[in-house]
Amino acid sequence: MTNTLDRRLHAFRPDLADETLRDKVQAERFVSGQPAQVIVPVAALRPAPDPARGIDTELLIGETVRVFDRAEGWAWVQADEDGYVGYLPEAHIGPIEVPTHRIVVPRSFLYPEPELRKPHVGVLSLGSRIRIVGEAETRGNHYHVLADGTAVMSGHCRPVSESLQDYVTVATRFIETPYLWGGRSGIGIDCSGLTQLALMMTGQKFPRDTDMQAKMGTEITRDELRRGDLVFWKGHVGIMEDAETLLHANGHTMTVARENFEAAVKRIGWLYEQPTGYRRIL
């Protein structure tokens, strides 16, 4: 996904946000933003306070933002993870609670209590950050319990201090996840969202959009491609699973899929031409 509008406002450089926002916004009083946290499983970030507008990206439960304005049920925020700016419903954010765990499977159900036979109350994506206050067991199933009494399978979580080791392996967990423009979760995801989220799970901060991702790491040649390298087209990015296989969220299959790299280059070429670059993320 590509985003060339100023609404990113120095995305991936939160330290520049205050200065940039001050230049962009006319106000009698400017503050650096109040900290808040996403409190719903997935919050859509939009370019305007209008639910009919398309989404620019998504934020996961437990991710933090800075709030610069609140009006008519909407909040104008900047994501701490990558500096992205946009609008989300004010009801989707709340006070910060330091998370203890992250979801490490593509999707996990949130139950109203430690009982899998109860109707679930939410679906948490890989990368979601939650605060665990207790544990429970029901018929041999082990649960982590949150402060509000809801519960999630303990085997689907890891402490936030533990990063996964291989981002390509993380990306493969999204195989057959539906493609969603602006998506950044196990419910639906786009090409650059897949790359960013997979790298985030290994402890690496990475930009959200392809044009910024294409400037990261080290430039390599096509002949040097190996596992973990990124391939860029105009507005698209894929991850090399190995020297011959491309893994990417794409609008052709409308899923996260793997395909032969050379075949993908030919198929994509009629619309997006040849790859624009190859990067190795160290």
Q: Residue 262, Cα to own-chain centre: how many angstroms? A: 28
| Helix, strand, coil share (%) of the chain residues, nearest 5 | 20, 35, 45
| Cα–chain center distance at 256 | 14
Which residues are identified as catalytic?
A: 191, 236, 248
3-state class (DSSP) for residue 267: helix
- Cα torsion 96, 101, 102, 108: sign: negative
Q: For residue 246, what are the β-bridge partners?
A: 240, 259
